[in-house]
Structure 1
Amino acid sequence: MIRNDKIILRALEPADADLLYQWENQMELWSVSNTLTPFSRHQIITYINQISLDIYQTKQLRLMIDVPKEHHQESIGMIDLFDFDPYHSRGGIGVMIYKPERGKGHAREAVALFSEYAFSHLGLHQLFCDISEDNQASIKLFESLDFQMIGRKKEWLKTPSGFKDELMYQKIAP
């Protein structure tokens, strides 16, 4: 487990399948996760079993975000390292906080803790993320953690209201 006094980042467990099934099938999140179709429970369980393989095999790492409670901990989201490239020492980062828990600083804590882990333990040189131009909460989050906007992909994302630009952010290891 990776933790501080406010947040716990932990590996996925088979017991997380129902929660992931619920979260991954929320259509309002599909636009940020590039999902087009629902996931079955079987797909989620297969994913949990596969994600437990070595990061160098899967090129990704997903961790649950838990908050400590009085006598237990509660899962409130997940954070991902994707497109892990050990040769170039980089990877993408994505975070999802369950809607009732948003706006409480959990995403900021999780991204800061995960970034420190990625730089110090995984030896990454850089992290990157891609954010829709209208996702002000994510832009504010990543900019507050010293991610720099390095580019704009014009009309990159197809949405029901038309095409939107996607902003590219990057943070180089301190």
Structure 2
Amino acid sequence: MVTLKGKQVYLRALEPEDLEFIHAIENDESLWELSHTQTPYSKYLIKQYLENAHQDIYEAKQLRLVICSKDDEALGLIDLFNFDFKNKRAGIGILIQNKANRGKGYGKEALSLLVDYCFLQLQLHQLYCNISETNTTSLRLFKNEGFVEIGVKKEWNHTPNGFVNEVLLQLISD
């Protein structure tokens, strides 16, 4: 049985009540480098996004879930994107919003839950992610989940500190 509930966290669909949470994440300039965002998002646009979040992954080609603690605190987001049913693959990304909640295993458990869901429920063949080489915490998280580095895109992203490489990782189901 596939479940989106773990010992420390569970994953749930977006709700209209997540407006402030999503708005805070999308407008946190310290995270823009991760999401390749360059401009702020209005609450109006995020509200519209939430109103359409009910779309099936096969229709929307993406799935965003909220990572919640056992006491229902929203901790972060985990996303599937570029969902390709024909080729049975999707990109995956994760964010734990509050730095105080990082390093506690929440991201590890959320990633494990979503990987199992992708392979067992969605019947995907592979998952991939693109991570800046400077984001050593995320690289370690994905590698510990079995993702394998398959390439490096040289000087791929421009940051305030200059160009940085982006690492491409992949996990193929057994």
Q: TM-score range by the shorter chain?
A: over 0.9
TM-score of the pair, normalised by structure 1: 0.96
CA–CA distance in 1 between the matches of 2:115 and 2:136? 20
Distance 2:154 2:25 in 1: 29
Match of 2:80 in 1: 81
How far apart are the structure 2 equivalents of 1:142 and 1:2?
18
Task: Write the mapping of 1:69-108 to structure 2, written as runs, cut at 5 A.
Answer: 69=71, 73-98=72-97, 99-108=99-108
Gaps of 5+ in 2: none
1:160: how far off?
Answer: 1.1
- Is the contact between residue 63 and residue 80 of structure 1 (CA under 8 Å) also seen in structure 2? yes
Give 3-state SS (helix, strand or coil) of 2:46's partner. Answer: helix
1:140 is matched with: 140
Q: Equivalent residue of 2:146, what SS?
A: coil
Distance across 2 between alignment mates of 1:31 and 1:75: 22
Q: 1:56: how far off?
A: 1.1
Counterpart amino acid of 2:137? A
Match of 2:24 in 1: 22
Secondary structure at the aligned position of 2:52 is classed as helix
Is residue 65–residue 77 contact of structure 1 (8 Å, CA) maintained in 2?
yes
SS of equivalent residue, structure 1 residue 2 = coil
The alpha carbon displacement at 1:100 in A equals 2.1
* Structure-2 residue corresponding to 1:39: 41
- Return the TM-score normalized by structure 2: 0.96
What's 1:161 paired with?
Answer: 161
How many residues were matched structurally? 171
SS of 1:77's partner is strand
Secondary structure of the residue aligned to 1:3 is coil
Does the 8 Å CA contact 1:150/1:170 hold for their aligned counterparts?
yes
Task: State the alpha-carbon separation in 2 of the partners of residues 150 and 157 from structure 1.
Answer: 18
Of 58, 61, 68 in structure 2, the residue corresponding to residue 59 of structure 1 is: 61
CA contact (8 A) 1:51 1:60 kept: no
Structure 1, gaps ≥5 residues long: none
Following superposition, the deviation at residue 49 of structure 1 comes to 1.4
Spell out, residue by residue over 1:29-64, the C-alpha distance to the aligned partner (whole angstroms, 9 max, x if none): 000111000010011111111221111111000000
Instruction: Please give the root-mean-square deviation of Cα atoms over the aligned residues, in Å.
Output: 0.9
Q: Partner of 2:122 in structure 1?
A: 122
Aligned-partner Cα distance in 2 for 1:155–1:79? 26
Secondary structure, aligned partner of 2:129: strand
> How far is the alpha carbon of 1:25 from its aligned partner?
0.6
